[in-house]
A = this chain, B = another copy of it.
Amino acid sequence: MTNLGLPVPPGFTVTTEACQAYLATGREPDGLAEQIAAHLAALERARGKRLGDPGDPLLVSVRSGAKFSMPGMMETVLNVGLNDASVVGLSRQAHGGGGGDRFAWDSYRRLIQMFGKTVCEVPGEEFEHALDEVKRAKGTTNDLDLTADDLRGLVGAYKQIFKAHTDREFPQDPREQLDLAIRAVFASWNAERAVLYRRQERIPADLGTAVNVVAMVFGNLGPDSGTGVAFTRDPATGNQGIYGDYLANAQGEDVVAGIRNTVPLQELERCDKRSYDELLDIMARLERHYLDLCDIEFTIERGKLWMLQTRVGKRTAAAAFVIAGQLVDEGLIDLDEALHRVNGAQLAQLMFPRFQLDHGIEPVATGIGASPGAASGQVVFTSARAVEVAGAGKPVILVRRETNPDDLNGMIAAQGILTSRGGKTSHAAVVARGMGKTCVSGADGIDVDVPRRRFTVAGQTVVEGDVVSIDGTTGKVYLGEVPSTESEVVRYFEGDLDPERSDDALVRAVHRIMTHADGRRRLAVRTNADTGADAARARRFGAEGIGLCRTEHMFLGDRRELVERLILARVDDDRAAALAALLPLQRADFEEIFREMAGLPVTVRLIDPPLHEFLPPLEQLAVDVAVAQERGEDVAKEEALLAAVRRMHEENPMLGLRGVRLGLVIPGLFAMQVRAITEAAVAVTRAGSVARPEIMVPLVGAVQELETVRAEAEKIIAEVVGESGVEVLIGTMIEVPRAALTAGQIAEAAEFFSFGTNDLTQMGWGFSRDDVEGAFFWRYLELGIFGISPFESIDADGVGRLVRIAAEEGRAARPELKLGVCGEHGGDPDSVHFFHRVGLDYISCSPFRVPVARLEAGRAAVQTNGSDSR
């Protein structure tokens, strides 16, 4: 913490280098003891007391000084220096009104508890149990009702607990306490969870941490002492004002642990106006220094205010936008800086439907907000039942202790998923995020009993069919249906709200920041849309063209029969007839899309999936035929179909006959599509609009493939376009690793590249998304193999390197080459920054993600360094 002339207790720092030496050798480095002794002596001189002196003890706190807080790392030990002797000295120090005794023993029991738990790994519950028992014996729930004697007794009990778990007495030597606490901070750098976290984040393992040793100030010295936390604005809504909690006669974590009820910070004004005014003054100074909402920890020791810690405060998504807007109004930051202060993940949260703010229903449990959204539905406990009830048109919430790959169908059928175990990287969480489903995981207040199809929570029993509601952002779980509401932000994007006149501060802030992002960004934002309706919505959301129009759906529905004829054709004439029948249907589809995207580029991908996907699935067909044969039915026709399906069956269809390979093997298929696209563009243009088609060849791995398709396409285009003035570009997906590695060659035959980062991730990692995401990604996240699924956010080191190679070498070969991305990463905040840095021209994502992409593209453009992206 920067000391801005604030009232901060004196102390010293043990350097990071000492920690590194300790981690490297496993023992305390030479000279460290002397160094600590020198520091300590200086502190003792300044305070005029000696550490743990029996007569007039100096006490200190020991905290980690790590640059980022890491899971599993040790945070703080207070009251270091107390022992059986100095507790008496402390009591004398505190003197006055007999309260000194109580205070001293309270501080001592806190030391044993905190030291035991964090330095010596004694289970924390045991201390809590012992405390509860003493309170129960006194018939109170308030720890202030405990007397000095009660607390002295508790110290005895705590010492026994300590000894039972550590095989030694609680250390009486103050210097030993200090050394052990410092060493424990060092050692916690290698705590299992910290190691995992660093592996995930690729933080160097040997960085180490400093340790801060600071003289204690006490909030538990009586009613004129206390401790509190404060926010400089409302972290929930962003509204201006003073927010916080205060607890008199308390220490350290009491405020957040909820041992007693805190009071709103405003009440401090009443009981200690001087401290309150000083705090307000400090908060204003801090905001001017940090130029942002700050959160603050402070202690008042007998009417004197001490600042313990401050950092930029956490806030909700809505507050982030509102505060950023306010700070601009207040002249503290400019709009570029405001863009830094919000992010796409927050905007995405604001676009989900959410429970109404004033519903007044109390949650019965809180888990982890694992995948955002708000969902209500009947409780079901099995995948089969989920499918059944959802099939009857009723929304369901699938409730499980934890999910596994067998639950996949149920998860698909459900509105939301609720589990009692597992965190943000559990199977349920990962799969739900992949599906865009609402999920609350690890709600451990819930006791799930699958065999009896019920769960209990807060003393209530919920049975199959009862309705619950879950909030995937906050992690809250409600009984019954909570009314939900469409997002105001979405209404704004849809054009249903005039932001200039809205009385919603959030909508005004979002509008202002989005407008600035659009002005700053260099990346264009397109959308992935296969229909006119999707295209229209995306355009309202700000899309500047279509980056990916898949043509597969144009082979479904009524058209399936034609497609089957096409696939099963054994002679050229049958195939040509089927293609001829498909041509006008596809042309009509394209006309609609070109009309909706008038004037903007539309990238159409030629058909990509293997053709057998349009035939019945093999296993079911084989079973049907075998059973019908067993019954003696005539199955000649089905057998012929089965033979065809079997002939076309592939072991690994993702790596089989699809994409450009189909175009090169099936005569006339690509030609029909190229003709339909070009004819549609000419028709729309002749009708007075402007169509800008870009034909994209999928799955190209070698320039020769593209050259061959291009040669055929150019002939058709030249013939159809005639004098209409329509311009048709031809380019390719870069989705096969080899395409990226030979991009310099491929650019010679391509007017644009569009990175298909989904397939590039699948082939680059060797992951079939359908097979691996549910099967073992949870395990990989748990082991820290990766910090986030590479399908959620682009893997910059591996897959991203392919993108970079292709962008650089493609542009070197053809400087005017247009570069875009149409994988799902186009809507992921971190990935957008990556694509900005590699120099792409545009990103493309699903219509709903277009605003997120616009915002992040703006943020990427004002970013002065890459520090906030992976």
Residues of A participating in the B interface, judged by any CB pair closer than 8 Å: 199, 405-406, 618-619, 622-623, 626-627, 630-631, 647, 650-657, 661, 664-665, 699, 701-702, 704-705, 707-708, 735-738, 741-742, 745, 759, 762-768, 770-772, 775-776, 779-780, 783-786, 795, 797-799, 801-802
B767→A655 contact, CB < 8 A: yes
The complex places the Cα of A772 from the Cα of B405 at a distance, in Å, of: 30
B738→A657 contact, CB < 8 A: no
- A195 CB to closest chain B CB, in angstroms? 10
30 of the cross-chain contacts (CB-CB < 8 Å) are A623-B623, A623-B626, A627-B627, A627-B630, A650-B768, A650-B771, A651-B654, A651-B768, A651-B771, A652-B653, A654-B766, A655-B763, A655-B766, A655-B771, A655-B772, A656-B771, A657-B775, A657-B776, A661-B776, A664-B780, A664-B783, A702-B786, A708-B785, A738-B765, A738-B799, A741-B764, A741-B802, A742-B798, A745-B797, A759-B766
The complex places the Cα of A784 from the Cα of B703 at a distance, in Å, of: 11
Q: Which residue of B lies closest to A405 (CB)?
A: B647
The complex places the Cα of A735 from the Cα of B701 at a distance, in Å, of: 18
A765→B736 contact, CB < 8 A: yes
B657→A654 contact, CB < 8 A: no
A655→B768 contact, CB < 8 A: yes
A801→B741 contact, CB < 8 A: yes
- A697 CB to closest chain B CB, in angstroms? 13
* Residues in B neighbouring A776, C-beta threshold 8 A: 657, 661, 664-665
The complex places the Cα of A619 from the Cα of B623 at a distance, in Å, of: 8
The complex places the Cα of A759 from the Cα of B737 at a distance, in Å, of: 13
Known: A741-B801, A798-B741. A664 touches B785 (CB 8 A): yes
How many copies of the shown chain assemble into the complex? 2
B655→A654 contact, CB < 8 A: yes
A797→B762 contact, CB < 8 A: no
- A332 CB to closest chain B CB, in angstroms? 42
B765→A701 contact, CB < 8 A: yes
* Residues in B neighbouring A653, C-beta threshold 8 A: 651-652, 771
Q: Which residue of B lies closest to A770 (CB)?
A: B651
Q: Which residue of B lies closest to A623 (CB)?
A: B626
The complex places the Cα of A823 from the Cα of B218 at a distance, in Å, of: 69
- Main secondary structure on chain A at its contact with chain B? helix
* Residues in B neighbouring A766, C-beta threshold 8 A: 654-655, 699, 701, 735-738, 759, 763
The complex places the Cα of A651 from the Cα of B652 at a distance, in Å, of: 7
Known: A665-B776, A737-B764, A738-B764. A654 touches B652 (CB 8 A): yes
* Residues in B neighbouring A699, C-beta threshold 8 A: 766
* Residues in B neighbouring A650, C-beta threshold 8 A: 768, 771
Q: Which residue of B lies closest to A736 (CB)?
A: B766
* Residues in B neighbouring A771, C-beta threshold 8 A: 650-653, 655-657
* CB-CB nearest 7 A-B residue pairs: A652-B768, A738-B798, A655-B768, A656-B771, A623-B626, A736-B766, A650-B771
The complex places the Cα of A514 from the Cα of B622 at a distance, in Å, of: 55
The complex places the Cα of A766 from the Cα of B765 at a distance, in Å, of: 12
Q: Which residue of B lies closest to A744 (CB)?
A: B797
Which of B406, B661, B786 sits near A772, CB closer than 8 Å?
Answer: B661
The complex places the Cα of A664 from the Cα of B704 at a distance, in Å, of: 40
Q: Which residue of B lies closest to A200 (CB)?
A: B704
The complex places the Cα of A705 from the Cα of B777 at a distance, in Å, of: 12
B655→A406 contact, CB < 8 A: no
- A337 CB to closest chain B CB, in angstroms? 35
The complex places the Cα of A780 from the Cα of B661 at a distance, in Å, of: 9
A783→B704 contact, CB < 8 A: yes
The complex places the Cα of A122 from the Cα of B785 at a distance, in Å, of: 68
* Residues in B neighbouring A707, C-beta threshold 8 A: 199
B762→A655 contact, CB < 8 A: yes
Given pairs A657-B775, A664-B785, A741-B797, 12 additional interface contacts (CB within 8 A):
A199-B704, A619-B622, A650-B768, A652-B654, A654-B766, A655-B766, A657-B776, A704-B785, A736-B765, A737-B764, A737-B765, A737-B802
The complex places the Cα of A661 from the Cα of B770 at a distance, in Å, of: 15
Q: Which residue of B lies closest to A779 (CB)?
A: B665
* Residues in B neighbouring A738, C-beta threshold 8 A: 764-766, 795, 798-799
Q: Which residue of B lies closest to A767 (CB)?
A: B655
- A137 CB to closest chain B CB, in angstroms? 43
B708→A737 contact, CB < 8 A: no
B775→A664 contact, CB < 8 A: no
* Residues in B neighbouring A795, C-beta threshold 8 A: 738
* Residues in B neighbouring A702, C-beta threshold 8 A: 785-786, 798
* Residues in B neighbouring A405, C-beta threshold 8 A: 647
- A165 CB to closest chain B CB, in angstroms? 27
* Residues in B neighbouring A701, C-beta threshold 8 A: 765-766, 798
Q: Which residue of B lies closest to A662 (CB)?
A: B776
- A870 CB to closest chain B CB, in angstroms? 14
